[in-house]
Each structure stands twice: as C-alpha cells, then as structure tokens.
Amino acid sequence: MWQNRKPCVDALITRGSGRDSEVLLGRQSDGSGWDLPGNFLNATDMIEPALRRECRREMDIEVEVGELLGAYEGVFRGMAIVTLVYLCSLRAGEPRPADLIDEVRWFPIGTLPAMASTSSQDAIAELRRRRNT
C-alpha cells in the first residue's frame, strides 16, 4: 500500500574545531561501512530521547543534543529513509562498540572512511561547509 520513507534520527558527534574537528563514527557489523550513531524512529518515539537511547545502545555513551543540522533523504540497506541529523557532543562515557557496530573511532572531518549511508555523508559535508573546513 504506502511506500513511505522510514524516519530516522542520527547524532553527528564532534570534538575539536576548524580543521582539527573530528567526527565519531561506528562501523556496521554487517560490513556495510561506517555510520553516525542513530536508527529508525519507532511509532511512539520522541526525537531527542530516541537519539539519546540510540547513542547509549550503539556506543554506550551519553550525548548532549544540540541543534538540528538538517533532514537528509537517502537509502539505507535498500530502504528509502529521511534522517534528522542533530549536532551533538559527548557528555559521558567512553565510546565503545555495542549492538550493531563492531568498532568505534574518531575520524578527522576531512578524512572519512567508506560510509554506510548517503544521508550521513551529506550531513558531514554540510557541517564541513558550515565550518569552512
């Protein structure tokens, strides 16, 4: 019947500034690449609590949710998605792989690995444009 895009929420977690900025990514355990922490929204989810839950679930961290960077259309594992990406900072915890990811790493914002989703690529590119890096 309806072929709606799946709503998602992702955290673009950064540290540093300018050319020294880094982005926290998790590598998908299915081999599809690296991605921002986040996931699909459930029918009853509120956005910010869902984002915090996914950061805890995927990386065992607490984040401070900042401004909405943007909404990005893309495809993830063959599904059409629309992802709300929020700028976040690490509030507590040491990032470690959990749930669907097998490695966690900080990457320089200008040197990223192969990404699992186009929406993550687009969000990071937008942040680079805004910060002129």
Confidence of residue 1 (pLDDT cuts 50, 70, 90): low
What are the backbone dihedrals phi and psi of residue 124, each rounded to the nearest 5 degrees, phi first? -65, -40
Instruction: For the beta carbon of residue 11, count every other beta carbon within 10 angstroms.
Output: 27
Would 70 be classed as within a structural domain?
yes
Residue 65 resides in a domain: yes
Query: How many structural domains is the chain composed of?
Result: 1
Structural domain includes residue 97: yes
CA–CA separation, 49 and 123 (whole Å) = 20
For the stretch 48-98, pLDDT in tens is 999 999 999 999 999 999 999 999 998 877 888 999 999 999 999 999 998
Q: Is residue 1 domain-resident? A: no
Residue 47 domain-assigned (yes or no): yes
The structure's pTM equals 0.93
The predicted-structure confidence for 19-30, as pLDDT tens digits, reads as follows 889 999 999 988
Domain of 113, CATH number, reads 3.90.79.10
Question: How many CA atoms within 13 Å lie on the side-chain side of 116?
Answer: 23
